[in-house]
Amino acid sequence: MSSSFTGSSPLAAYGWDDALEHEFTSHRAAGLIPARVAAVDRGLCDVVTENGPARASTGSGLSTGSGGDPAAAPCTGDWAALLAGGPDGRPAVAALLPRRTAIVRSSASRDSRGQVLAANVDTVAVAVSLAVPLDLGRVERLLALAWESGARPVVVLTKADRVPGAAGERAEVAAAAPGVDVVACSAATGEGVEAVRAVLSGTVVLVGPSGAGKSTLGNALLGAEALATGAVREADGKGRHTTVRRDLLPLPGGGVLIDTPGLRGVGLFEASQGLERTFADVEELAARCRFGDCAHGSEPGCAVLEAVEDGTLPRRRLDSYRKLLRENAWAASRTDQRLRAERENRTKAISRWQRQMYKERGRDR
């Protein structure tokens, strides 16, 4: 486990650095104190300050985010400017510092706004259980989210003790994750845990479905039973949600760990760049197609289809690429529709105000 966290502040262990100190200058001048959000729960959040942990309110303006956007609300990993004495007597989050990275998925309600899973993350560890058949499509989906966030993804194959020699599975996942470190480990036996530590740095978030072994792996990395774990059904490898919220915990040797609840559904939210990175091999082939607007359907001179035909590119991977592109385009169109509606509503509101103003002026004459 390596860490890029340096500095004399007590918050250095949680990622505070000179650049953040510079960003915080105006907030310090206003009497606010820096804090990192460790967990959020119903309008309150656990934070870590220079003087230790505290419980703070998120404030009415921040609880749902700016303009009602939940993606702008405080999230685990955020850096906040804290007012020591809020309206309810407890500290209050007055502002959030700009996020360096953010893992965003489509909201659970499937509307056009995103949900931030974690902020200011350096490494996204995608947990994949070897105790069940590999779902490479899910791996690609999570990698797209990770790349889009701006953080560095790694894939951790958990429960390696269940598979006698995981070389084949590791090769399969590596083929679906170009440019990504793929490491196998068993938290139960300790085998491979040090190899996992070696590829993690800074603020690390664990993502994956329930039953993937995220919390067990997290405990192995933390060196303590700090995260709740639960039983997994043998039939399908699925587990109950033992992690019900995102928590931020310091790692021995530097860095911090964020454990997330199991993700049953992971919808993409404007992940174009993430898809390009996830399917870098397909994008490279597409650049060789005869036509620049090739849809890789039946066009002559399509390098992608040629790679499928000669076995260089698995048909499954091309199908996954197309599926995620369609989903991402749909999500982007919904966002565009929402933005257009918001603009129209603002225009209508201004027109109503103007009509009312002219009407009142006419009465005064």
What is the rounded average pLDDT for all residues in the chain? 84
Q: Give CA 134 to chain center in angstroms.
A: 21
Residue carrying structure tokens 């404007």: 270
Q: Give me the pLDDT at residue 230, please.
A: 47
Q: Is 159 annotated as a binding residue?
A: yes
Which of residues 64 and 52 earns the better pLDDT score? 52
Say how far apart CA 238 and CA 212 lie, in whole Å: 8
| Residue 298 in this model has a pLDDT that exceeds 70 | yes
Reference 203, options 149, 279, 282; nearest CA is 149
| Residue 60 in this model has a pLDDT that exceeds 50 | yes
Q: Give me the pLDDT at residue 323, please.
A: 94
| Residue 231 in this model has a pLDDT that exceeds 60 | no
Q: Is 185 annotated as a binding residue?
A: no
Q: Give me the pLDDT at residue 217, please.
A: 93
| pLDDT tens per residue, range 17-39 | 999 999 999 999 999 999 999 99
Pairing of strands 247-250, 256-259: antiparallel
CA atoms 163, 167, 197, 141: torsion sign: negative
- pTM, two decimals, is 0.83
Ordered domains of the chain (ranges, CATH): 10-98 (2.40.50.140), 103-259 (3.40.50.300)
Q: Give me the pLDDT at residue 242, please.
A: 44
Say how far apart CA 123 and CA 258 lie, in whole Å: 10
Q: Is 294 annotated as a binding residue?
A: yes
Contact of 5 with 253, CB cutoff 8 Å: no
Pairing of strands 203-207, 256-259: parallel
Q: Is 364 annotated as a binding residue?
A: no
Q: Is 161 annotated as a binding residue?
A: yes
**Tokens (6 digits) for 222:** 């933390």
Contact of 135 with 148, CB cutoff 8 Å: no
Helices and strands in the chain: count of H runs, count of E runs: 10, 13
Contact of 235 with 132, CB cutoff 8 Å: no
Q: Give me the pLDDT at residue 211, please.
A: 87
| Residue 312 in this model has a pLDDT that exceeds 80 | yes
Q: Is 102 annotated as a binding residue?
A: no
Reference 70, options 58, 62, 80, 60; nearest CA is 62
Q: Is 296 annotated as a binding residue?
A: yes
